[in-house]
């Protein structure tokens, strides 16, 4: 018997959504085309409470961080694999203006409770974490394949909606470009990451100044990520490699060897919020997308919103609901 709900895409959004549906006893199946260059496959899985040149707390971090930790810990127990690793971020000041920004914001309490001790070179960010995203995707894929829930093929959500009570598009850039939610002002940016052979790093510390260096295993680290707005092809470039090597030399101050170079495309929105909810003109279509660089933090809570919506009719938060864009006259016209 065909389940009521199809999840299109088994990246991070689709995986967490399926997990929440399984927990809630909601009937579903997943369609996944096997894109090994998806943003989730490339992403480092860093959860950093304070980000950007302006040193701002990640949106909703006080609310989303405990939920993310609980979800990944539960997945660890169920799947039998390590997923969550607590880390500290050593944020180094790029310039004097950044140092003054930190001092002012800390004095006003804007960075509490995540800003730790500071010195002239930088400060410590507490409460950060790293999620093993490839482990999660592989183990979840194996679980749902064994359960008979996984359909390993590419699907068009708007077409599949005639066969299911609800199709939820979690397809990342592919989903954003397929036209089902063409009223959403999707934005794209490419990020590149290098894998390094390097010794002597503290496994519990992420170094950050412009780019970050993340220890992955003894003798192995990653450096990333670049930000190329508007780029939609997940192709590594010489320019990206050069920029990351320069940052690695400055942050590490020790020899390293480049072992790998990957790229992925993030999906973002102009208001810096993700998108979740039903299509305002077609209730049989849903979406969970636009997580940007903060997917590891946001996906668990957004997936829980979907489960609560289906199980109890709970409305989506207005800040993430896809309907926030549909209200615009130009958006309504484009969806006709």
Residue 305, CB-side half-sphere exposure with 13 Å CA sphere: 23
* Omega before 303 within 30 of 0, i.e. cis: no
Which tokens go with 195? 């894998």
pLDDT of amino acid 333? 45
Report the alpha-carbon distance of residue 199 to residue 217 in Å, rounded.
10
pLDDT of amino acid 332? 46
Asked if residue 78 belongs to a domain, the reply is no
Asked if residue 253 belongs to a domain, the reply is yes
Asked if residue 73 belongs to a domain, the reply is no
Q: Categorise residue 267: left if φ over 0, alpha if ψ from -120 to 50, beta otherwise.
A: beta
Over the chain (336 residues), what is each successive 10-residue block's mean pLDDT? Answer: 88 96 96 70 91 94 97 98 97 96 96 97 97 95 95 90 94 90 96 97 97 97 96 95 97 96 95 96 96 96 98 96 80 43
Residue 325 shares a structural domain with residue 282:
yes
pLDDT of amino acid 3? 79
What is the reported pTM? Answer: 0.93
- Buried-state track 138-167, b at ≥16 Cβ within 10 A, e below 16: ebbbebbeeeebbbeeebebbebbeebebb
Q: How many domains does the chain have?
A: 3
| Domain stops at, among 241, 268, 295 | 268
pLDDT of amino acid 1? 60
* Omega before 113 within 30 of 0, i.e. cis: yes
The answer to whether 290 and 269 have CB atoms below 8 angstroms apart is yes
Local structure of residue 58 (DSSP, 8 states)? P
3-class SS at 166?
strand
Asked if residue 50 belongs to a domain, the reply is no
pLDDT of amino acid 335? 41
Residue 246 shares a structural domain with residue 295:
no
pLDDT of amino acid 157? 92
Asked if residue 55 belongs to a domain, the reply is no
CATH of the domain at 150: 3.50.50.60
Residue 40 shares a structural domain with residue 113:
no
pLDDT of amino acid 336? 38
Residue 258 shares a structural domain with residue 192:
yes
Residue 285 shares a structural domain with residue 216:
no
Q: Give me the domain span that covers residue 90.
A: 84-130
Report the alpha-carbon distance of residue 259 to residue 195 in Å, rounded.
5
- In the chain, the N- to C-terminal Cα span, in Å, equals 33
Local structure of residue 49 (DSSP, 8 states)? S
């Amino acid at each position: 018997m065909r389940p009521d709900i199809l999840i299109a895409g088994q990246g991070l959004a689709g995986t967490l959504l399926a997990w929440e549906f399984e927990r809630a006893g909601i009937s579903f199946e997943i369609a996944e085309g096997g894109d090994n260059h998806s943003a989730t496959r490339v992403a480092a899985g860093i959860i950093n409470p304070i980000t950007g040149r302006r040193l701002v707390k990640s949106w909703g971090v006080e609310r989303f961080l405990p939920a993310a930790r609980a979800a990944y810990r539960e997945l660890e127990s169920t799947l039998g694999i390590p997923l969550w690793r607590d880390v500290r971020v050593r944020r180094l000041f790029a310039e004097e203006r950044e140092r003054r920004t930190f001092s002012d914001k800390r004095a006003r309490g804007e960075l509490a409770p995540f800003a730790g001790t500071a010195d002239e070179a930088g400060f410590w960010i507490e409460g950060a974490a790293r999620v093993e995203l490839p482990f999660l995707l592989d183990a979840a894929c194996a679980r749902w394949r064994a359960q008979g829930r996984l359909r390993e093929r590419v699907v068009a959500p708007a077409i599949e909606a005639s066969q299911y009570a609800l199709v939820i598009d979690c397809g990342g850039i592919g989903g954003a470009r397929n036209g089902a939610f063409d009223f959403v002002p999707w934005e794209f940016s490419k990020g590149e990451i290098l894998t390094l052979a390097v010794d002597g790093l503290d496994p519990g510390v992420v170094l950050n100044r412009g780019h970050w260096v993340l220890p992955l295993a003894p003798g192995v680290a990653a450096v990333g990520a670049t930000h190329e707005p508007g780029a939609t092809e997940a192709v590594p470039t010489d320019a990206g490699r050069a920029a990351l090597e320069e940052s690695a030399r400055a942050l590490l101050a020790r020899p390293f060897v480049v072992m790998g170079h990957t790229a992925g495309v993030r999906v973002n929105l102009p208001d810096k919020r993700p998108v979740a909810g039903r299509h305002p003109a077609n209730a049989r279509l849903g979406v969970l997308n636009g997580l940007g660089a903060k997917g590891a933090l946001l996906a668990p809570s957004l997936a829980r919103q979907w489960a609560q919506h289906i199980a109890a009719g709970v409305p989506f938060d207005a800040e993430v609901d896809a309907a926030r864009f549909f209200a615009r006259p130009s958006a309504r016209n484009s969806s006709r």
